[in-house]
Amino acid sequence: MSVDQPLLPVFEDLFDGAPCGLVVTDENGTILRSNRIFSIWMGISQADLAQRRFQDLLTMGGRIFHQTHWAPLMRMQGSVAEVKLDLKNASGQTVTMLLNGVRRVHADSVYYEMALFGTTDRDRYEREIVEARQRAEQLLWEKTSAEAALQQANVELDLAYEKSQQRALFAEQMVAIASHDLKNPLTAIKMAGELLARGERTPRDRELLHHINQSSERAQRMIADLLDFALARVGRGIGITRSTVDLHLVIERSVSELRIAFPQARMIHTQVGAGMAEVDADRIHQIVGNLVANSVAYGDPGQPITVTSALRGEMAILSVHNEGTAIPESSLGNLFEPMTRVSELDTDLRSVGLGLFIVREIAKAHGGDVAVDSTNENGTSFCVSFPRTGGARPH
């Protein structure tokens, strides 16, 4: 032996101080020798363990497994590896151990040499793996269930949307039909009122006829708005018939008619530029009427309403300005949507809330759009811009 080779512990120290349980039994399982760590795990002294049968330390399930599996394996193949057994310690608690064993023959005698390892940490790790797998399976199940519920909700939402679209289409068609059928009787009422007003009437009769005419005009405006709304939503949008006209002259005529319709308001028409434009004159008249009616309803009655028509290059611009309280900022985002009103004041000019929506649709039909600017300092201006010719596009 080399003098430089370190001395190893003697066999007895290695056996007794091993970090695992070591047990030697005869072929019947009688413990001949055990080491200190096994004694500690079992809570039984090494002396008391001697001459006890190893299988007597097992639980009932462990004994059955010993008799039916690992003892026959030891006899047939001479060894077992990683056999998991449950033992009962001195306190009656179950101690799970992993057993490796070999069968050896010495001097015509058979011995079982067994090494046992505690499985506490391994069992905890295995439990954590099982729990993690169960959590993953639960999450997968929840995800699958959520996806199935979402898919079902989407199907139900699509069906509900389709039904709502059908109901909305039916309602809009009914509005169009009813509005169209109301035009003729209202026109007859208005004409009858105008004819009656031409004769000699008492002041009371004239007042009543005046109310009849005002109410019929208001109803006609509402019906016209409803018909245009139905055309825009049910049909292919508001239709226009273009013709080459003097835009300033068209708007001047509209303003002149509106001065008669709204005698309480003071209107100014300002013209910028000169030339012709390809537009639908009746629809332009409708734009001016709706914007002026809006200004009369919500503007300062003591200040004038300014209507400006401008021709600038390829663009035609129509704006209507009034003084008064600014439109609330919260209302600007949906101001041109149908059924929208800036105020809930109940006046003779109150409409169904379609005027500005129709202004925008007419502007779009001409290839343009409408914008609004409203502050308390500068008042409110609606500006409609569109190409002067049907082939041009707005900048």
* 261 and 287 together in one domain: yes
Distance CA 23, CA 113 (A): 6
In a domain, 2, yes or no: no
Count each helix (H run) and each strand (E run) in the chain, helices first: 11, 12
Classify residue 393: in a domain, yes or no: no
Residue 327 covered by a domain = yes
* Residues 61, 92 within the same domain: yes
Residues 266 and 348 in one domain: yes
**Which strands form 21-26's sheet, in the order they lie side by side?**
31-34, 21-26, 109-118, 94-106, 79-88
Distance between CA atoms of residues 387 and 364, nearest Å: 10
What tokens appear for 38 in the block?
A: 């096994």
Same domain, 262 and 383: yes
Classify residue 341: in a domain, yes or no.
Answer: yes
Counting the structural domains of the chain, the total is 3
Residue 4 lies in a domain: no
Per-residue pLDDT of the chain (395 residues; tens, 9 = 90+): 455 666 666 778 888 889 899 999 998 999 999 999 999 999 999 999 998 999 999 999 888 988 888 889 888 899 999 888 899 999 999 888 899 999 998 888 899 999 999 887 777 887 888 888 888 899 889 889 889 889 998 988 888 888 777 766 665 666 656 555 566 666 677 677 777 777 777 787 777 777 777 677 666 666 676 666 666 665 556 778 889 999 999 999 989 888 887 888 899 999 998 889 999 888 888 899 889 988 998 888 899 999 999 998 899 999 999 998 888 888 887 887 876 665 555 454 445 567 888 888 889 989 999 999 999 898 999 999 999 886 544 44
| Same domain as 189, residue 129 | yes
C-alpha closest to that of 314 among 273, 259, 270, 369: 273
Domain end among 186, 201, 233: 233
User: CA 161, CA 167: separation in Å to the nearest integer?
Assistant: 10
Same domain (yes/no): 195, 246: no
Pairs from 247-252 (Cβ < 8 Å, separation ≥ 24): 247/275, 247/276, 247/277, 247/279, 247/284, 247/309, 247/311, 247/316, 247/318, 248/274, 248/309, 248/311, 250/279, 250/281, 250/284, 250/285, 251/284, 251/288, 251/307, 251/309, 251/318
Structural domain including 186 reads 125-233
**pTM of the predicted model as reported, rounded to 2 decimal places:** 0.49
